[in-house]
Structure 1
């Protein structure tokens, strides 16, 4: 077995013993698609968790040897990376939560709560084609360029849900995938059956299942970006207090169903930008409305201590020009990683820190005149 493959598999096994004990759900992640008039596509996504997950940006090069885990600490599917990708990691592990590859294909995992998802019952004969849930994103990003390619390959694998003792659970997820054309799909494992379904609204959150979210949109058919001028109630004319009357009733809380509705309405109501610059800019503006500050969403961890689900980082992917913009809770300035400036060959992993200093902020005092 190549050295790189041995190292990755050893790290996978170590997940069961040394990951920091965290129990909060990453249950407030939101993603939205933007398609410009010239066909350029952008994707904006926020990542929330109740304790610091220690993310860094992972650059995985072409030619890298991958080996997934499987039940019983066995080895699962092995493959060689056709495409390089960039994406944020968690807990210092060489596994991305989401990312984009050099072909402009995006894949991202979104947390599902217990009882909302169930992975297949994997038998030992299936181990050679098994992809553990934490390896699903790199399997997609290193192998495929389009959503159609993923659809064709998905029946050839089985997805295993492996327990992580430090998390005290089997981390559950469902996935959003989108290619450079803007074609998007959702991959889920419900009741032990893996499905892939087109996503016509181009947004995604967490539980329940994607089909439930689409059905829930039927309760908000009245929402419209056009303002209501007035309404008659008997002999009384009700006049608006200000702008935004067409979206009265738009849910504003941080639960996954409410965020899905809000994202679907806003992302599909905003004026379509002209080009890639406009798509990236719109993505940044849209996702800003979903940020969660520390303390406004509170919970209690397994240790009995308070935990605060907050937006640890926000990413915006330029699928047309192959660029990744990222900002963190502490540093609200977006920074850019460009594929055309990265070493994409070499068969190894490179790391880019995600700076958590406050600022720096551009001082424009000298522009006073």
Structure 2
């Protein structure tokens, strides 16, 4: 599952996501310092010149599900079931990575979307299982930088394909082109109320405020969340200052948050929004809110964090916090 989008004003680019999953990730902020030595599952060692942070867990090893590096590049991986295609054999002319390792390589070595476009052809994704989940994860990726440029990476039989993303939204399957074409079915959505309409001698009126959004999908499938977020993101106000931009980001995330218990997977596990995370690509700040929390944690990449000797995680409380007046 999961939904991701960017939101901008004149000064700031925010990249946001929900993490919807059935397996309990116990996600928390984790920082990887500069020059971290990353060991791939296929036997390579890579020294990452850039430091970065994101959502991980020491029990999950040196892997993140989303993150931002010191250059402002932000990456999020989302499930891409029945669509992701990987190579079965390594290619000696390329850097071969497991699907769940691509995010780490981007954060550790790439300084912009332009740089990713130049270097992505050196990478091949191989069908290697995630060591914790013991499955080959079907993933695709949304990547942004501090300029606000946003692209999607999807792996097909053709290999890794880099795709422009004109709506700056991503959910799950099908592929990005399908989601974009599907928006043609919703051109009747609007922010204003519909006018009255005559049916012969009867004049029909909207029942109330919000009639222009009649037909906006409300379910939790990938296509429904994509349409919902594309419409809301395109119309939400953004020129209201930094605090308002952050508040709007959280408001948008709430529209695709899956409550625990309403979406049961075939294996009986509960797929729900385990956390919300969003990143300021210019300030290099990371905002994190777990499902049970009413408050948001913030962490900013500082020179001190980038110079750590080893990765550092930041345990968080799951308590619901209120302010007593």
Could you say which TM-score interval applies, normalised by the shorter chain? over 0.9
Q: Does 1:105 align with 2:73?
A: yes
Please say if residues 100 and 107 of structure 1, whose CA atoms lie closer than 8 Å, have aligned partners that are also in contact.
yes
Q: Does 1:350 align with 2:273?
A: no
Residue equivalent to 2:47: 80
Q: Select which of 3, 17, 31 maps to 2:4.
A: 31
Please say if residues 32 and 287 of structure 1, whose CA atoms lie closer than 8 Å, have aligned partners that are also in contact.
no
Trace 1:1-369 onto structure 2 (pairs within 5 A).
Answer: 27=1, 29-36=2-9, 38-70=10-42, 75-76=43-44, 78-90=45-57, 91-113=59-81, 115-123=82-90, 125-126=92-93, 129-164=95-130, 167=133, 169-301=135-267, 306-340=268-302, 342-356=304-318, 358-364=319-325
Q: Which whole-Å CA distance do the structure 1 matches of 2:134 and 2:308 have between them?
A: 36
Q: Which whole-Å CA distance do the structure 2 matches of 1:347 and 1:279 have between them?
A: 34
Q: Which whole-Å CA distance do the structure 2 matches of 1:354 and 1:214 have between them?
A: 37
Please say if residues 294 and 321 of structure 2, whose CA atoms lie closer than 8 Å, have aligned partners that are also in contact.
no
Q: Which whole-Å CA distance do the structure 2 matches of 1:34 and 1:274 have between them?
A: 13
Structure 2 residue runs of 5 or longer lacking an equivalent are none
Q: Which whole-Å CA distance do the structure 2 matches of 1:204 and 1:327 have between them?
A: 20
Please say if residues 100 and 130 of structure 2, whose CA atoms lie closer than 8 Å, have aligned partners that are also in contact.
no
Q: Which whole-Å CA distance do the structure 1 matches of 2:69 and 2:227 have between them?
A: 28
Post-superposition Cα deviations, 1:12-54, rounded to whole Å, max 9, x if no partner, equal xxxxxxxxxxxxxxx2x01121111x23111221101113122
Please say if residues 325 and 337 of structure 1, whose CA atoms lie closer than 8 Å, have aligned partners that are also in contact.
yes
Q: Which whole-Å CA distance do the structure 2 matches of 1:219 and 1:318 have between them?
A: 33
TM-score by length of 1: 0.83
Q: How many residue pairs get matched?
A: 324
Q: Which whole-Å CA distance do the structure 2 matches of 1:231 and 1:161 have between them?
A: 56
Please say if residues 294 and 322 of structure 2, whose CA atoms lie closer than 8 Å, have aligned partners that are also in contact.
no
Change (3 A) 1:246 1:49: same
TM-score by length of 2: 0.94
C-alpha displacement at 1:341, in angstroms?
7.3
Please say if residues 128 and 136 of structure 2, whose CA atoms lie closer than 8 Å, have aligned partners that are also in contact.
yes
Post-superposition Cα deviations, 1:276-316, rounded to whole Å, max 9, x if no partner, equal 33322211111111111111111242xxxx32111110012
Change (3 A) 1:342 1:92: farther
Please say if residues 273 and 282 of structure 1, whose CA atoms lie closer than 8 Å, have aligned partners that are also in contact.
no
Change (3 A) 1:278 1:104: farther
The SS at the match of 1:268 is: helix
More helix by share: 1
C-alpha displacement at 1:163, in angstroms?
2.3
Post-superposition Cα deviations, 1:238-282, rounded to whole Å, max 9, x if no partner, equal 111111111110100000000000000000111123443332221
Structure 1 residue runs of 5 or longer lacking an equivalent are 1-26, 365-369
C-alpha displacement at 1:227, in angstroms?
1.5
Change (3 A) 1:341 1:315: farther
The SS at the match of 1:104 is: coil
Please say if residues 64 and 346 of structure 1, whose CA atoms lie closer than 8 Å, have aligned partners that are also in contact.
no
Q: Which whole-Å CA distance do the structure 2 matches of 1:147 and 1:130 have between them?
A: 20
Q: Which whole-Å CA distance do the structure 2 matches of 1:229 and 1:320 have between them?
A: 43
Residue equivalent to 1:4: none
Q: Which whole-Å CA distance do the structure 2 matches of 1:204 and 1:361 have between them?
A: 32
